[in-house]
Structure 1
Amino acid sequence: MQILRNLTTTPPDARSSVVAIGNFDGVHLGHHQIFETVRSLAQTFRTRSVVVTFEPHPLKVLRPDKAPPLICTYEQKLELIAACGIDFAVILHFDLAFSQTPYREFVEHYLVDALAVKHVVMGYLARFGKDRQGDARALATIAPRYGFGVTEVGLFEADGRNVSSSAIRRALQDGDVRAARVMLGRCYSLGGTVVTGDGRGRQIGIPTANLRCDNELIPRLGVYAAWTTVGEIRTRAVINVGRRPTFDGLTITVEAHLLDFHGDLYGQRLEIAFVDRLRDEEKFDSVESLVSQIRRDIQRAQMVDWS
């Protein structure tokens, strides 16, 4: 997938294309349906597929106090979009000046002049342009004069759940990583660099990798079973997301005890994919009680459905 950060000069292959517009945070199953529609139409028209998205998320500019934590980093989002088979991703810088662009001007400048768009695909919740006036229905009213078509993709359900980025955030904030997995179509994952901790895990005989996370959205405090990936090595782990109430109880940490790996991880990149929630965070009267519970967590994690 080719990434375009402006449309000053549009590659010829990106013109006369089928385009999806949206934020696509999480790249969940509803987004997959949009991208599949884009790819199918692009094949029909014998042209390329394009996704137009915004950076930063518009709410971080317009209502920073109300902006939700993002499910994906921008790097993760682009990797996931590429994995859906999209040919081009256009990333438009969003700031206050850009937010004042009327939706018709957006259509003329970006979709018509820059991309010579053949067809536009939008989710039923997607909006663009000043005051969010541009949606699929508004676009359909003006599309004929510019010679392109419009398709609106409706609500997507997975296992009886309405799939949306907001629903996934709520599930993760509740610690329901299984529900999030159903809506995402994959385990929720976060990544970062392994940093030096205070060594308490090693002192009690259960060494952990302390993660400095890149992601904004951390699941609810508690203990989880998860897959971890370091380079080419993938192994199971027990993850603690918490404030370590048995010790200082101050800083939120993400710690991973890898079940089938022994080695030095400091400075390396670690990816965590949450499989299941094992329990809430607890405060123990003694380090011995904590160690006993962690060993029970490890035993329980062994019985989790890892498929």
Structure 2
Amino acid sequence: MLIVNGFEAVPPEAKGAVLALGNFDGVHRGHQFLIGAAQKEAKRIGRPAGVLLFEPHPREFFSPDELHFHLTPRDEKLAVLDEIGLDLAVVLPFDAALAGLDAGRFIEEILVGALAVAHVVVGYHFFFGKNRTGSAETLRAAGAAHGFGVTVVEPVADRGEPFSSTAIRLLLAEGDVRGAAKALGRQWRVRGPVIGGAQRGTDLGFPTANVAMPKGTALGHGIFAVRVKLDGKSLEGAAYLGTRPTFDDGMPVLEVFLFDFDEKIYGRTIEVSFVDKVRGDRKFASAEELVRQMEADCAKAREILAAEPR
């Protein structure tokens, strides 16, 4: 997938495409339907299919002091879009200049002037331009004037509930990773380098690979059955996210115990996919009691993973 950063120097092969427009945080099933509509139209007219997205999320630009839970940070989002089979991703830096661009100039300077779009696909609730004055109807009128097509996609729902990034964040905040996976169309995952820890897991007989969660992540605390990718290798394990109330109530760190694995992997990057929650976090009366529970947790995680197709 070709990635174009900004619109000042767009390569020829990125022009004349069919682009789905949006933020696509999570690239959930609703987003995938929108992207699928762009791919279908691109195939029909013989053009590349891609997305145009904004980084950082506009909410992060307008409220920089607030923590924002990104379901898919930039690199993860681009990886998922590549897996979907897109030809192109145009990433526009959302800064003061872009925020100040009105809807008309956004269309003329970016969609028409820089990208020469053949067709755009948007959701029914898509707004753009300064003060969010541009809408799907604005695009339809501009398309008629400038010669590009416009498809507006209605909400995509499961049993009456539209798929949304906000709803998925709420599921994850409750620790419902299985429910989040259903809405995402894949298991929610995080990626990061393995960092050093207090070695408490090693002392208890459960050495863990610790990963700092992305800033703003709000996953409900507890034990999870997980699958892990390391240098192309697929592994399984049990992961803990919490404050370690039995010991220190410290800062949350994701601690992953990999089954049947004993390599030292500090500094190497792993990808952790959350399959299901085993239990919530709680304090234990002693380290011995915690170890007994950890043994039961790992057995339950193995049982979950054995029943879950890869």
TM-score by length of 2: 0.94
Per-residue CA distance 1:17-67 (angstroms, 9 max, x = gap): 211111111111111111111111111111112311111111111123556
Count, aligned residues: 307
Q: CA deviation at 1:238?
A: 0.7
Match of 1:39 in 2: 39
Write the mapping of 1:154-169 to structure 2, written as runs, cut at 5 A.
154-158=154-158, 161-169=161-169
Q: Take 1:271 and 1:216, find their aligned partners in 2: how far apart are those partners?
A: 18
| Counterpart for residue 175 of structure 2 | 175
Q: 1:193-231, CA deviations, whole angstroms, 9 ceiling, x for partnerless residues?
A: 111111111111111111123464241111111111111
1:266-305, Cα deviation, whole Å (9 max, x unpaired) = 1111111000011110001100110011111011112213
**1:229 corresponds to:** 229
Residue in structure 2 matched with residue 269 of structure 1 by the alignment = 269
Q: Pairwise mapping of residues 93-172 of structure 1 onto structure 2 (< 5 A)?
A: 93-158=93-158, 161-172=161-172
Letter of the 1:20 partner, please give it: A
C-alpha distance in structure 1 between counterparts of 2:9 and 2:195, whole Å: 42
- Other-structure match for 1:52: 52
Q: Which moved more, 1:159-168 or 1:90-99?
A: 159-168
Residues in 2 aligned to 1:273 and 1:159: alpha-carbon distance in whole angstroms: 26
Contact kept in structure 2, 1:59 and 1:66, CA below 8 Å: no
Mean CA deviation greater in 93-102 or 173-182: 93-102
1:181/1:215 Cα in 2 relative to 1: closer, same or farther (>3 Å)? Answer: farther
Looking at structure 2, the residues matched to 19 and 287 of structure 1 have their Cα atoms a distance apart, in angstroms, of 55
Q: Give the secondary-structure state (helix, strand or coil) at the position aligned to 1:303.
A: helix
Give, as a single letter, the amino acid of the residue that structure 2 aligns with 1:148.
F
> In the superposition, relative to structure 1, how do residues 215 and 192 fare at CA in structure 2: closer, same or farther (>3 Å)?
farther
Alignment deviations for residues 131-154 of structure 1 (CA, whole Å, 9 cap, x no partner): 112221221133211111211112
Shift of 1:10: 2.5
% identity of equivalent residues = 37
1:233-256 CA distance string (max 9 Å, x none): 211111100000001112111101
Distance 2:232 2:218 in 1: 24
Q: Which runs of 5+ in 1 are unaligned?
A: none
**Where does structure 2 lack aligned partners over 5 or more consecutive residues?**
none
**Cα distance in structure 2, aligned partners of 1:110 and 1:126:** 17
Moved over 4 A (4+): none
